Amino acid sequence: MAIGGLLIRLVSLTGPGGPLDTPGGYDDSVYFASSALLFRGVLPYRDFVLVHPPGAIYLYGLVSAWRFDPASLFAAARLFATVIGAINIFLVGRITMRAAGPIGGLVAATLYAIYPEAISAERGPYLEPVLNLACLSMAWVWLRRTPNAIHAGALCGFACATKVLGGIWFLAALASAQSRRDIPRFIAAAAATGFALLAPLALPNVRAFVEQTVRFHMARPPDGIGEPLVRLREMLLGSHPLTSALAIIALLSLFIRPTRELRFFAVAHLLTIAALLASSTYWPEYNAHLAASQCVLAGLALAGSDPKSRVIPLLIALAIVGFNWRPLRQLLSNSRTRAPQILTVGKEIRERVPAGDCVFSFDPSWALAGGRLPPYGDGAPVIVDSYADRDVARRLAACRFVIVGERGQWEMNEETRKWFAANFVCRTPDAGELCLWERR
């Protein structure tokens, strides 16, 4: 099932233009560029804005740290994310199989493999693939008959250092501890790992770290779906009603057989829903993390099924795919959509921009396609996430070439737009939205 899920995730990355020809979601290029800059000595929180903890950009350093063409590395990072997704499918199935038998494991793995939001997230260097990997790995170790509290705590610390939502799984572990003696070691290992990952980047400027990872989200204006009931409908129904129905059955079974696994994933699932409801920003894509707990709960709903049956698991897997065929078919159809304009602007950058000249793009993926990381080392602000940074105007003033796109037009205020129009000219008018602008 993990191999099948991997192939589904690879579909959109294997078109004529390869991984770079796939439409992205902005965030994947931000996290990749952040990772690449980190391993070139440009530190987040101190040198550029990063609005999440750094756990994911450490892991993506396995790809981004190499000194090859950034375009090739970005493409490789997208492929790397699909491998992480396959591991997540495997972990969901194994965790559930250990607790509920092979049928439950097969159901959980199948549901995660075709979960639309998980598929979308796990084909690019987003936070959710890494967060799910850390959380599920921790659950695998913690929920053993003889748990290793230190290893589980270390994995939990990594999850918390990836995204604040990792703290929910910390609470889930405490609620499902097999022995009170495990708790101090678990907490100590989580704290030590979290500190080890955060300290090198946070301590040089603690105030900036807090402002970017905490205060930014508290002051962020509402975005996406605002109505709580609509959010809840997307989380529970949306494109995965069967998964939600089975998960609800598992939650109700807590009153009959409150196993450790049920307590763990019930806490993780319910608190994740609460966090997404309370957040000022919500998009259905955030369900990619919800899938980790929801799919395991769905598999746990089948605990007690006949483990000797050879026909039932196959029928259940076919039924799951059939029930979810419409959203899955739509997703696979959308995955064939290409983004040739990304390759075109990348070609223009390589042909028109001298190696020593600065090129800034409001979406890092546009410059990455041309083999350029966000500009750094020239004394001007380093801008990776133009949405979160307030020094974009100073970076524009320092660069000879700029790619604005629809995102840039949306982010610039009226004064900056007028200044930009007076100082830059479009050199590739046929490129439309992704015109390459040069200083007059």
Predicted local distance difference test score (pLDDT) of residue 337: 74
Q: Note whether 106 and 223 are same-domain residues.
A: yes
**Which two three-digit tokens encode residue 438?**
């040069």
Predicted local distance difference test score (pLDDT) of residue 241: 85
Q: Note whether 415 and 328 are same-domain residues.
A: no
- CA gap 137, 294 in Å, rounded: 16
Last residue of a domain, one of 335, 365, 400: 335
Predicted local distance difference test score (pLDDT) of residue 53: 97
- CA gap 40, 30 in Å, rounded: 15
Q: Note whether 323 and 356 are same-domain residues.
A: no
Q: Note whether 215 and 88 are same-domain residues.
A: yes
Range of the structural domain that residue 350 is part of: 340-439
From residue 91, alpha-carbon distances to 45, 95, 293, 295 in Å are 33, 6, 11, 11
Q: Note whether 325 and 401 are same-domain residues.
A: no
Taking the CA atoms of residue 180, residue 181, residue 184 and residue 189 in that order, the dihedral angle to the nearest 10 degrees is -120
- pTM score over 0.75: yes
Looking at the structure of the chain, the number of domains it has is: 2
Among left, alpha and beta (phi > 0; psi -120 to 50; other), residue 429 is alpha
Note the pLDDT tens digit of each residue in 9-63: 998 888 778 899 888 789 999 999 999 999 999 999 999 999 999 999 999 999 9
Q: Is 48 helix (H, G, I), strand (E, B) or coil?
A: strand
Q: Note whether 241 and 279 are same-domain residues.
A: yes
Q: Note whether 170 and 318 are same-domain residues.
A: yes
Is-contact 13 123, C-beta < 8 A?
yes
Q: Note whether 204 and 120 are same-domain residues.
A: yes
- CA gap 190, 197 in Å, rounded: 11
Q: Note whether 90 and 220 are same-domain residues.
A: yes
Q: Note whether 235 and 284 are same-domain residues.
A: yes
Predicted local distance difference test score (pLDDT) of residue 420: 95
Predicted local distance difference test score (pLDDT) of residue 340: 80
Task: Report the largest interatomic distance among the alpha carbons of the chain, rounded to a whole angstrom.
Answer: 74
Q: Note whether 68 and 119 are same-domain residues.
A: yes
Q: Show Cβ contacts of residue 195 under 8 Å, excluding neighbours closer than 6 positions.
A: 157
The residue ranges of the chain whose pLDDT is under 50 are none
Last residue of a domain, one of 288, 311, 335: 335
Around Cβ 437, how many Cβ atoms within 10 Å?
23
Last residue of a domain, one of 309, 335, 361: 335
- CA gap 200, 383 in Å, rounded: 21
Q: Note whether 327 and 359 are same-domain residues.
A: no
Closest to 364 (Cα-Cα) out of 27, 18, 57, 116: 27
- CA gap 440, 438 in Å, rounded: 6
**Which two three-digit tokens encode residue 415?**
């004064």
- CA gap 98, 88 in Å, rounded: 15
Q: Show Cβ contacts of residue 198 under 8 Å, excluding neighbours closer than 6 positions.
A: 53, 54, 161, 209
Note the pLDDT tens digit of each residue in 68-125: 999 999 999 999 999 999 999 999 999 999 999 888 999 999 999 999 999 999 999 9
Predicted local distance difference test score (pLDDT) of residue 83: 98
